Structures are given as structure tokens and as C-alpha cells.
Amino acid sequence: MTVVRSASIALYALALGGQRFCCPRPQQGFVVRLLFIGDVFGRPGRTIVRRLLPQLKAELQPTVVVANAENATHGTGMTRSAFEELSAAGVDIFTGGNHTLGKPEILDLMQEHATVLCPGNISPAIRRHGSVIWQTPSGPIAVVNVMGQYCMNGVDNPFRYMEEVLTDAEIAAVSVKVVDFHAEATAEKAAMLRLLDGRMSAVLGTHTHVPTADARVTAAGTAFITDVGMTGVRSSIIGLDPEVMMRRLETGIMYAPRVAEGDATLMAVVVDIDASTGSSTSITLLQRDH
């Protein structure tokens, strides 16, 4: 297990804009604040992250910033330049999904940067890139990336994979544990919550690019949302140019998809977690256009 040290400063509770869902539980220690950004799609997604993230970090002072970046370059994969752009904007850890391997250079990025993750159940060859432990002044945070099986090809069982992850000695020793579950089916995500409830601090869904209205903190202290949503052009078809996608749908001809242009929306969640117990105390939906 790779351990990465952070230069971030521990944060205390601040007033947040957006809709906040809490679990009435007294906090025992320092608060770890996670800012998790939903699927960053193409240049419009990178642009709004670059423009808004420094401001959001000043406002919210997150302990760690995680972004799903499997669509960061032209909607498929992440190049080195996209990684450097998002890193410079303030993203600490990058999660992925079914498009992560869309750019060959991602393999070099994963070798060079332990904070560039790929779902660990995609292939045994890259299993060790499925998680990272991020060191902060409030203590370590384990971030795990796993992918669902429904409508996905060549993926190992995500439930068995997560049981393996939780038995890893280094991860088991960490109180604050977060998973990006990149999956198509809402039922599969609900089942993952059932498996991990009370065992992970947060179970956050990605992949569909459509934010869901079911954010909550369970009685066992796990923050959950079926899908965080997409950071990209909202007036698109899940990030793609509507004109091209409509032609594909109307004719059945597989025209090459194209990233939509226009103003983007940043979609994210903010999760506050008790550093000593690993229990989440709130999850807040965050959407910013400017």
C-alpha cells in the first residue's frame, strides 16, 4: 500500500452553501473534510475546475480534494497535460473508471504518482493502483477506487474486491476510508452501501454523470450518494455534443462523439468525517456554475 503525505491543513466546520444532510452524532476529534468532484469531462470540465477550485479551497478548506478524472481528456482517459492542469488547480487524488485506460500514458502516470488511481478490480496487473493512503495533519485517509460489473466488460466482482481491500492491514488501520464506486446500476450502488455501511466513511457513486437526490449519512456513520454527477457542460448529453449524439440515436450510425462546448457546472459533494472514529457527520451537495 502506497502512503502519500499531504501538505494540507486540517479543517474545522464551516458554513457551507448547498443542501446538507447530517447524522446527529457528537464529533470526537478533528474533522476531516473531503471535497469530492464528480466526473470531470473534457476541456470544459477542466476549465471550471481550474477556475473554481482555488476559490472553493479558500472557502471550504478541505483536508483533501478528490476528483474522478477518467473523462478529463476529450471525454476518454486522462493525459499528462490534463493531470498537470488539474493538479495545479488543487486536486490531490484522481480516481477513475471504465475510461481510465483510454490514454496509454495513464500507465506511466500511475507508476509515477500513487495518487492517480484506477479501479482495482479491472485487472490483476493494476490491482495495486486501486487505493492510496493520504497522510494529513488530522491523520491518514484511505481512498479506494472500484468499478461495478453491470454493463462493464472484464471486471472482477466488486464486492469480493472490497472485502479484500478491507482486510488489507494498512487500510484496516486507517479510520477514515472513502470509496469511489464507479458503476452504472443504482441497485449495484445500493448493494455496495449495504456491504460497506459502518465500515467505510463514505461510499460515493460516479459514472452516470447525473447527480442523484439520495445523499445521506446512515445511522452507522457512512455518507452515501448514488451519483455525484458530472463536472462539464450541463446542456449536453452526459458531456457530449447533443447534435452529434442525436444524429447517432436517430440514424443508428455511430458518428464519432464530440465533447460539448459551452459553460460548465462543477458538481461535487463535501463530506465531514470525524477523524478519530471514521464516522461521517454530514454530506453536502455542491453545484457551482461560476
Catalytic residues: 99
The verdict on whether residue 39 carries a ligand-binding annotation is yes
- Report how far residue 142's alpha carbon sits from residue 183's, in angstroms, rounded to the nearest whole number: 20
β-strand partners of 259: 240
Is 145 assigned a ligand-binding role in the annotation? no
Of 31, 141, 56, give the one whose Cα is nearest residue 93: 141
124: Cβ contacts below 8 Å, ≥ 6 apart: none
| 121: amino acid identity, one letter | N
- Is 207 annotated in a binding site? The answer is yes
Annotated binding residue 157: no
Joined grid coordinates for residue 113: 504518482
Other CB atoms within 10 A of residue 95 CB = 31
Query: CA-CA distance, 242 to 256, in Å (whole number)?
Result: 12
First to last CA, the chain: 38
Tell me if 180 is assigned to a ligand binding site: no
The annotation places the binding site for Fe cation at 39, 70-71, 98, 182, 207, 209
